Structure 1
Amino acid sequence: MSEEAKDLKKELAKRKRMAIDIASEIHDIVEDTLWVDYEKMPGLAEKLLAAVQEANRFKADNGLQ
């Protein structure tokens, strides 16, 4: 595997990780503080949607699996 391909895969993993971190925040609210922090959910959902779309766009643009 070329160095460029390795770098692309690392960048994709970084972008996926960002989405996973946001999903984890949502999970924590649902599990622990829903009745206090429910107002954060719409903003986090928007951030999650954007992060997943960006990761998928990067993946498609770079021909990654």
Structure 2
Amino acid sequence: MSEEIKDLKKELAKRKRIAIDIASEIHDIVEDSLWVDYEKMPALAKKLVAAVQEANQFKADNALQ
């Protein structure tokens, strides 16, 4: 595997990790503090959708699997 492909895969992993971190935040609210922090959910959902779209676009643009 070339160094360029390794770097692209690392970048994709980084972008996926951002989405996973946002999803984890949502999970924590649902599990621990829904009745207090429910107002944060719409903004977090938008961030999550954007992060997943960005990761998927990066993957498609760079022909990664």
- Give the TM-score category using the shorter length: over 0.9
Q: Does 1:3 align with 2:3?
A: yes
| Corresponding residue for residue 13 of structure 1 | 13
Instruction: List gaps (5 residues or longer) in structure 2.
Output: none
The match for 2:29 is: 29
Distance 1:21 1:61 in 2: 23
- Aligned residues: percent identity? 88
* TM-score, normalised relative to structure 1: 1.00
TM-score, with length taken from structure 2 = 1.00
1:24-58 residue CA offsets vs partner (Å, 9 max, x unmatched): 00000000000000000000000000000000000
Deviation of 1:61 after TM superposition, in Å, equals 0.1
Runs of 4 or more consecutive aligned structure 1 residues displaced over 4 Å after TM superposition: none
Corresponding residue number in structure 1 for 2:41:
41
**Cα offset, 1:16, TM superposition:** 0.1
Give the match's secondary structure for 1:40: helix
Unaligned residue ranges in structure 1 (runs of 5+): none
Equivalent pairs, count: 65
